[in-house]
A and B are shown apart, each in its own frame.
Chain A
């Protein structure tokens, strides 16, 4: 799975979503979910991702109960829940098996997404550790001025400004500097090259063909057998 090109995996994500919409039977949807979890296990990624899968399952259960309570038939409600698991799990697979850099390269070079939008994701991710460190620094600085975060709900809410204020101001200044820096380094000035090789190989073409075949199969199954 990891060895497939990012583009193939993106197509896979779309394909699974289509399949989840096509299939209506509970066994069909359930099998799709199980197949994805098995894929994760085979790639050795279940250890990292099981918490995410479990919370998705939790949400699905809530979704099912809500739909049932609002009057849907039990079977339809469960189908809805399974559909959600199917479509969300495939994103987990995508993100767990693909480096962010490769993903943006594929989006820009093969999917014609404008550079600026694709880079929004990587730069946002890049700043998460900095943001966490900054947030800790602000909490410590304000703690040394007596900030406790205790008290009634209203009091806690208003006193939170002492933590949020410096962070927001810093985030704004940081994004301004970053935008300037991107232009200074020639971003968007001309045709760019890419360090990562995201070209499609033989196995990618095979996988793509396989997905087309499956889609055709599911469509036929839905029409003929009511899957």
Chain B
């Protein structure tokens, strides 16, 4: 059973044009997928569809189906889906409902009817996971932007969802914070959580993802293994600006006849380029 499956899914908000058109793609259990695309492509709507928000919450017109953990979202309710899927919205500040950090994290557990005695421990563990240990009594209003974003994540993680969807989770974070966040998501993914993330900076997610999807004007332009997807984007000039410099470098060098393995991070690139340059300098010296 696939974690999420879009089968010819189309959607238009009420009184608006078509936002998603005949989407066909799947998210495997335990995989890490990144969705990229220009503003207005429909990435947020795609996230909302996977959580059942669309069409239950907004109404509108739909075509095709979305199947999450074997359940068709249209036959279910948002409350039912909330048991398996957690969604962290781009406007994380407006997602925070409680006065204190511990109340905020406990909220999801209370909604699910979890026994009162189990809640404090679960809250403590989740806060530790996101790096907010010991802040149970802190007021939500007094946290920094980055801390609020991590709190929103904690609120989603505490119910131990099978699927975690995040819409631009690093927008308030500086480079160090973004690295920490994706490192945490990578760890969660290793432990079996299926993750779907919308992100503008592919380089940050590349070391962790199994699948890359490019959404343009409501349609899937490219979907597949990150390596192959980026190559296709480069060859067909699809939203090239988003290709990370590392991959851009590789594709340019391949045009000059060099062959390299997949570069997931800078260290890979440095290793292979050193080898190539070493060989080139040895050859030219011996010549």
A binding-site residues for B, Cβ under 8 Å: 100-101, 119, 122-123, 125-126, 128-130, 133, 173-175, 177-178, 180-195, 197
Contact = CB atoms under 8 A, between A and B. Distances in A.
Interface string B144-161: 000000000001100100
B103 A186 contact: no
Which secondary structure dominates where chain A touches chain B?
helix
A189 B80 contact: yes
Contacts of A184: 51, 53, 78, 82, 86-87, 89
Contact of B89 (A126, A180, A186): A180
Contacts of A183: 53, 57, 78-79, 82
5 contacts: A101-B98, A178-B97, A184-B82, A185-B156, A190-B112
Nearest to B102: A195
Given A125-B99, A129-B141, A189-B111, A174 B116 contact: no
Given A186-B82, A189-B79, A181 B142 contact: no
Interface in B43-95: 51, 53, 57, 77-80, 82-83, 86-87, 89, 91, 93-95
Nearest to A133: B141
- Size class of the contact patch on chain B: 35 or more
Given A101-B103, A197-B116, A186 B97 contact: no
B93 A186 contact: no
B238 interface: no
Given A126-B99, A180-B53, A180-B57, A185 B111 contact: yes
Nearest to A126: B99
A185 B51 contact: no
A100 B110 CA distance: 16
B283 to A, nearest CB: 60
Given A122-B99, A126-B140, A189 B109 contact: no
Contacts of A126: 96-99, 140-141
A193 B110 contact: yes
Contacts of A119: 97
Contacts of B86: 184-185
B89 A181 contact: yes
A185 B114 contact: no
Nearest to B82: A186
A185 B116 contact: no
